[in-house]
Amino acid sequence: MSAPLRFTKRETVEVSSEKAPGRSGEEIKIYIQSLAKMVPAEAQGLYAIGRSAIPQNEKGFAIGWIAFCLLSVILVRAIGTADAKKREGPDWLHVLISCLAFVIWVYTLGGILPDFNAAKPFIGILLTVAFTFVVPYLYQLYRDRG
C-alpha cells in the first residue's frame, strides 16, 4: 500500500434532517482516523521503552533518546505520507503535526523537563486535550482549501 499515512480528500457526508443534531457516525469515523494518522504511536512506544532503560541521572542519554525518537517520527511520517506511484512527496504539514504531538506527549509524560524541575503536569494535560481536539479539524480545513 502506497502512502498509508497520507490523507485523501474527505468525501462530503450527507446528514439527514431526521437524525439528531450533532455528528454522524461517518464524521466521527473520519475524525478518529485523522487523529490516529497524526499521533506517532510507533515513536511513542519506542520512546517509552528506551526511556525506561536510561538511568534517571543520565540526562545526556535522555536528551539524545528524545532526539532519536523525534528523528524517527520525521522519518516514519515522511515515508508514510509520500506516494512514489503518484509522484507525491511527503506531506510536511502532517510530519510537523506528528512531531508536535510527540513533543507534547513527551512533555506530558514528564520526558526530560522534570529532570530540570521545569515541567508543569497540568500544562501537558491541557496541551494534549486541546491538540487532540483541534488539530484534525484544522488539518482538514487546510487541506480542503488547497
**Torsion angle, alpha carbons of 63, 68, 72, 134, to 10:** 10
Helix, strand or coil for residue 83? strand
pLDDT digits (tens, 9 = 90+) for 30-85: 766 766 677 788 888 899 899 889 998 888 898 899 999 999 999 999 998 898 88
Work out the end-to-end distance of the chain between its first and last CA atoms, rounded to an integer number of angstroms: 24
Q: Tens digit of pLDDT for each residue in 76-118?
A: 999 988 988 888 899 898 899 889 989 988 888 776 665 555 6
What 3-state DSSP class applies to 118? Answer: coil
Q: What is the pTM of this model?
A: 0.72
Beta-bridged to residue 88, according to DSSP, are: 83
Domain boundaries, the chain: 35-145
What size, in residues, is the chain?
Answer: 146
Q: Which three cell numbers stand for residue 142?
A: 487546510
